[in-house]
Structure 1
Amino acid sequence: MAPLPTPPTEPQDSPDRYVGLPADGAERQAREQGWSPVRSLPPGAMITMEYLAGRLNFEVEAGVVKRCWKG
């Protein structure tokens, strides 16, 4: 039997710290902290709901991060 895969660890970083930042700066900081991928979405965007360890999602309105969550 094949061993179970070990999911990658996520950065020890709080998504809340990105709320209120300009989107381009927030994306740069998130990547520097080890998040990959980082995805920026408009409010109400249709997205898939699978959880991807290490991914950080930004909801961006008028160039500012309004909401941020893992996965």
Structure 2
Amino acid sequence: MAPLPHFPSDPDDDPGAYAGLDAETAAERARSRGWTEVRALAPGTFITLEYRVGRLNFEVEDGLVRRCWKG
């Protein structure tokens, strides 16, 4: 039987821990923890709903992360 392929996965990290941090600090922390793409978005920004492994999204208002989610 052939071996199963290796699929990439997200870093083992809690997105909720980024809320309240300033956007620059949050992005640096995310990259140091293995996130390959970090995206800061203004509240209400229209985005596509495709899931991308390794991407962390921040909703940033007044320079602070208000919420964070994977994909």
Scaled by the length of structure 1, what TM-score is found?
Answer: 0.90
CA shift at 1:7, angstroms?
2.9
Q: SS at 1:29's partner residue?
A: helix
- Asked whether the equivalents of residues 7 and 53 of structure 1 are also in contact (C-alpha less than 8 Å), the reply is no
User: What is the alpha-carbon distance in structure 2 between the residues aligned to residue 39 and residue 27 of structure 1?
Assistant: 8
User: What is the alpha-carbon distance in structure 2 between the residues aligned to residue 5 and residue 52 of structure 1?
Assistant: 18
1:47 maps to amino acid:
I
Residue 18 of structure 1 corresponds to which residue in structure 2? 18
Q: SS at 2:49's partner residue?
A: coil
Count of residue pairs the alignment pairs up: 68
Structure 2, gaps ≥5 residues long: none
1:8 maps to amino acid:
P
- Asked whether the equivalents of residues 41 and 60 of structure 1 are also in contact (C-alpha less than 8 Å), the reply is yes
Scaled by the length of structure 2, what TM-score is found?
Answer: 0.90
2:43 maps to amino acid:
P
Structure 1, gaps ≥5 residues long: none
CA shift at 1:5, angstroms?
5.8
